[in-house]
Amino acid sequence: MIDTFADIIRHRRSNLKLTMDKLAEKASVNKSIISRIENGEVKKPEINTIKSLAEALEISYDEYIRIYISLERNAEVILKILQEAISISCPASLITEISTRYLEIPHIDSYDAIENIFTTAHDINHTSTKLALFNTVVNYSREHGVMPYIAKGMYQVYMIERNDFTNLQASYHFGENILNYVDFLNPKEKVYIHYYLAVHAYSLMRFEESVKLSEYVIKNATQEEHKALSIYNICISLYQLERFIESESYLEEYKKFNFSYISDTSTMLTGILNAKIGNLELALTQLHSCLKNTSDYNIIFIISELMEVYVKLDRIEDAISLLHYESRLIVSLNDERTTPSKRRRLAYFYRQVGTILLSRDIEQSFDYFLKSASEYMKVGMGKNALESVALINEAILENDSCLTTELIKKINITFKQIIEIS
């Protein structure tokens, strides 16, 4: 392994068949300096000298900067190199190496050094670089017992990783661990971590946990909107737990807020609750009223609930007619507020459609089951995806004439995708 400037420059010059004179001319570096570097007399040349030689010898930034930082003892120089590496979009692995090296420089105040890396991470937009720096903060803080930055770093890592819908279980467990350090967060961060974990828990169908986390927000939030959103979260979690009376109670509290979306969402929730307790005709009226004026954010919940009500009333044609909203449902997922639960609901809607179409158009039915599986996979719900595919297998067992080579190919592709996320 080449790990000194003497080795890398001599090796590359030899490969390119350059004499020392030719390299000196090409790099605009004095021949004697090159000779001293290759002979090991100068182990750490000036950074500008190395850059000139690297350009002439086609040595990548990653290659020479790794050697340079291993030799550099000045923290300010390492910090400047880190900022340079960020500005030219170096790989996250190199960013991690440079930032770790900066933190490990002797005779530097650990707390100040961690704060510098944390601030640097906070001020950049590139996600993988940001994540690499915050992870460096967390790892170094753990090793050195700097509790505030374990908490702050983990909080920032979670806020990034929670947006990866395919890895919801792992990111939720990571977020839960932050609660062990929550006393080191400021009041605003404490409220935010509880709120986002509550939403996350709901997406994973961990409804009891979602209720508990939301209760913290209601008690401690200073902004009324955080309280309103948390009451909504409790309402829908209790609904999922079939604790309908409690859910209605929280819905009444939710209605007291004056935000623009409250009326629309309240009517939708009232319709959904009525459908669940058997007031189907009233639920239809309320849900259709919502549908006329609803935002794209709520439409998937309204349409899937309407379809369920129509099926219960045996109004299959009306249920099928809801398919003309499909393109709008897909577009609604582009909303920046989209949560995994919305995508999960679309997956459930596709499964509903597949089930309805089984007796009418089996090929189209299978396509919807596969769409359902695909949407479940996008939120890391491999088990649910398998359940959607299993509905195809059950139909084939009843009527094997619908089994085609093309269908087998589609199912195999889906199975492979499920295996990849498992």
- In this structure, what token pair is assigned to residue 285? 């009226």
pLDDT at position 140, please?
96
Task: Note the CATH architecture for domain 1-71.
Answer: Orthogonal Bundle (1.10)
- Backbone φ and ψ of 4, nearest 5°: -130, 155
How confident is the model at residue 1, as a pLDDT? Answer: 46
The predicted structure's pLDDT at residue 407: 85
For the record, the structure tokens of 66 come out as 């790794």
CATH class of the structural domain 259-334: mainly alpha
Which tokens hold the place of 237? 């979690």
Q: How many CA atoms lie within 13 A of 372 on its CB side?
A: 26
Rounded-to-integer distance, Cα 60 and Cα 327, Å = 47
Q: What is the pLDDT along the chain (422 residues), one digit of tens a residue?
A: 457 999 999 999 999 999 999 999 999 999 999 999 999 899 999 999 999 999 999 999 999 999 999 999 999 999 999 999 999 999 999 999 999 999 999 877 889 999 999 999 999 999 999 999 999 999 999 999 999 999 999 999 999 999 998 899 999 999 999 999 999 999 999 999 999 999 999 999 999 999 999 999 999 999 999 999 999 999 999 999 999 999 999 999 999 999 988 988 999 999 999 999 999 999 999 999 888 888 788 899 999 999 999 999 999 999 999 999 999 999 988 877 788 989 999 999 999 999 999 989 999 999 999 999 999 999 988 899 999 999 999 999 888 888 888 888 888 888 888 777 66
Q: In terms of C-beta density within 10 A (0-12 exposed, 13-18 middle, 19 or more buried), how is residue 211 classed? A: buried
Instruction: Encode 308-338: b = buried (16+ Cβ within 10 Å), e = exposed.
Output: bbbeeeeeeeebbebbebbeebeebeeeeeb
Distance, in Å, from the CA atom of 106 to the CA atom of 304, rounded to the nearest integer, reads: 61
Per the CB < 8 A criterion, the answer to whether 344 and 322 are in contact is no
145-203: per-residue pLDDT in tens? Answer: 999 999 999 999 999 999 998 899 999 999 999 999 999 999 999 999 999 999 999 99
The pLDDT of residue 334: 84
Q: How far is CA 103 from CA 44, 83, 106, 110, in A?
A: 20, 14, 8, 7
What confidence score (pLDDT) does residue 422 get? 63
Measure the CA–CA gap between 21 and 328, rounded to whole angstroms: 68
By the 8 A CB rule, do 358 and 322 touch? no
pLDDT at 335: 77
Distances (CA, A) of 229 to 195, 213, 223, 249, 298: 9, 12, 10, 15, 14
- Written as six digits, the tokens of 301 are 């919940």
**Chain-centre distance for alpha carbon 257:** 30
Contact 66, 81 (CB under 8 A): no
Task: Show me where the domains of the chain are located.
Answer: 1-71, 259-334, 339-421
